Amino acid sequence: LTLDGVELRVLHIPLVAPFTTSFGTESVREVIIVRALTPDGDGWGEIVTSAAPLYSSEYTQGAWDVAQRFLIPALLDAHTVAPEQVAGILEPFVGHRMAKAGLELAVLDAALCAQGRPLGQYLGATVDRVPSGVSVGIQRDPQALVDTVAAYLDEGYVRIKIKIKPGRDIAETAAVRDAFGTIPLQVDANSAYTLADIDTLAELDRFDLLLIEQPLAEDDIVDHATLAGRLRTPICLDESITSQKAAADALALGAASIINIKAGRVGGYLEAVRIHDLCRDAAIPVWCGGMLETGLGRAANAALAALPGFTLPGDVSASNRFYARDIVTEPAELVDGHIAVPTGPGLGVEVDPVALDDFTVERVVVRR
Ligand code: OSB
Ligand code: MG
């Protein structure tokens, strides 16, 4: 593939409702959309950073800078670039995995579109639709949470994940269990606890949760292993799993028995598949996480989640769970509790150029 240039845009897309986690509240999704410009057509990708470095160290303006200053010039310097070469070319630059992932996805989409090949087929998808879970933010009080969850269950979501933080955990989880009985339910703490909270975390054992996601800090691998020895609820890692190596280390230490895979967090969809393969060989269940993706990243997540090791429902929900208007012409829809894996070439979705322009607040083209 010959890369002539890369267009980057910062988008501001309003959310249908504020989304609150242990680290903050967002009402507008600030995200970077990538367009790889090639003689054989464009390819699209998404850099899933947030406006502030609260989930991880990356943030949108940081990704915007590193992509233009270092990553894109390195890709343009390589005369031609295959999708499988992107990670190696960008490897000298430490970190910035979400930025790398978005660039790799744009190159991958361009290459697959040129071959007429769907992303799902390329990654190894074995199903044509994936079961859809929904991530529910922290609400005003337990009753508001129950009302919100009820609406998602009515829509057909097959698994509920609720965000928790210290002081907003036991009562919330109890309220959802009491209201809806034995629904598939899990919680996500986004690193809000320490081992000093072990008694609170152990209280969650009585709710028969599918898992507790990332209770402790990103680098607390040993503490997660200690916690795993004290809880009956399976520990799932999100933030801590930044690469296949990090996944292998966490499993070796007994820090997790389930892994959330997000392509952005691990530097791309190809690294995501490597983590999937590692976990499949180790009989560790994985599921596909989300970063409030637009229709572009959401299509790619559906393709990834269709691999055989994704044995738990992911956070691949319908576009309208977050957005009243998407930037693709056919936003992901919930049908019978599932999201379809796109079948067209590449990402298999088309960008709506008017919507894209309407949400764009910054644009740049980096050329050779
Ligand atoms: O921890 O999984 C997370 C959103 C932003 C940052 C981190 C997380 C999340 C979600 C939402 O839980 C997942 C989604 O539906 O996109
Ligand atoms: Mg998480």
Tell me, yes or no, if the pTM score tops 0.90. Answer: yes
Residue 152 in contact with ligand 1 by CB distance below 6 A: no
Tokens 């809880």 belong to residue: 231
Name which of 82, 88, 89, 97 is nearest 43 in CA terms. 82
Structural domain includes residue 74 = yes
The reply to whether 78 and 182 lie within a common domain is no
The reply to whether 267 and 148 lie within a common domain is yes
Structural domain includes residue 195 = yes
Residue 288 in contact with ligand 1 by CB distance below 6 A: no
pLDDT at 79: 83
The reply to whether 69 and 198 lie within a common domain is no
Please name the residue whose Cα sits nearest to atom 9 of ligand 1.
291
| C-alpha 236 to ligand 1 mean position (Å) | 14
In terms of residue numbers, what domain contains 203?
A: 121-340
pLDDT at 354: 98
The reply to whether 125 and 105 lie within a common domain is no
Tokens 């980096």 belong to residue: 366
Determine how many CB atoms are found less than 10 A away from the CB of residue 289.
Answer: 28
Contact at 8 Å (CB) between 306 and 341?
A: yes
Residue 20 in contact with ligand 1 by CB distance below 6 A: no
Structural domain includes residue 107 = yes
| C-alpha 189 to ligand 1 mean position (Å) | 11
The reply to whether 139 and 75 lie within a common domain is no
Structural domain includes residue 328 = yes
pLDDT per residue as tens digits for the range 247-256 = 999 999 999 9
pLDDT at 288: 99
Count of structural domains within the chain: 2
Q: On the CB side of 160, how many CA atoms lie within 13 Å of its CA?
A: 29
Residue list, CB under 5 A from ion ligand 2: 188, 213, 238
The reply to whether 332 and 357 lie within a common domain is no
Structural domain includes residue 56 = yes
CATH classification of the domain holding 18: 3.30.390.10
The reply to whether 22 and 135 lie within a common domain is no
Residue 109 in contact with ligand 1 by CB distance below 6 A: no
The reply to whether 225 and 304 lie within a common domain is yes
pLDDT at 148: 98
pLDDT per residue as tens digits for the range 195-214 = 999 999 999 999 999 999 99
Q: Which amino acid is at 193?
A: Y
**Cα–Cα distance, 164 to 347 (Å, whole number):** 33
Structural domain includes residue 101 = yes
The reply to whether 275 and 158 lie within a common domain is yes
| C-alpha 219 to ligand 2 mean position (Å) | 15
Structural domain includes residue 345 = no
The reply to whether 270 and 358 lie within a common domain is no
Structural domain includes residue 180 = yes
pLDDT at 282: 98
Q: So which residues are the catalytic ones?
A: 163, 262
The reply to whether 9 and 24 lie within a common domain is yes
**Cα–Cα distance, 170 to 206 (Å, whole number):** 10
Query: In this structure, which ligand is nearest to the CA of 238?
Result: 2
| Cβ-Cβ contacts under 8 Å for 71 (sequence gap 6 or more) | 90, 93, 96, 99, 100, 103
pLDDT at 90: 98
| C-alpha 47 to ligand 2 mean position (Å) | 17
CATH classification of the domain holding 309: 3.20.20.120
Mean pLDDT in runs of 10 for the chain (368 residues)?
97 98 97 97 98 98 98 96 98 98 98 98 98 98 98 98 98 98 98 98 98 98 98 98 98 98 98 98 98 98 99 98 98 98 98 98 97
| Cβ-Cβ contacts under 8 Å for 27 (sequence gap 6 or more) | 14, 15, 18, 19
pLDDT at 34: 98
The reply to whether 145 and 280 lie within a common domain is yes
Residue 55 in contact with ligand 1 by CB distance below 6 A: yes
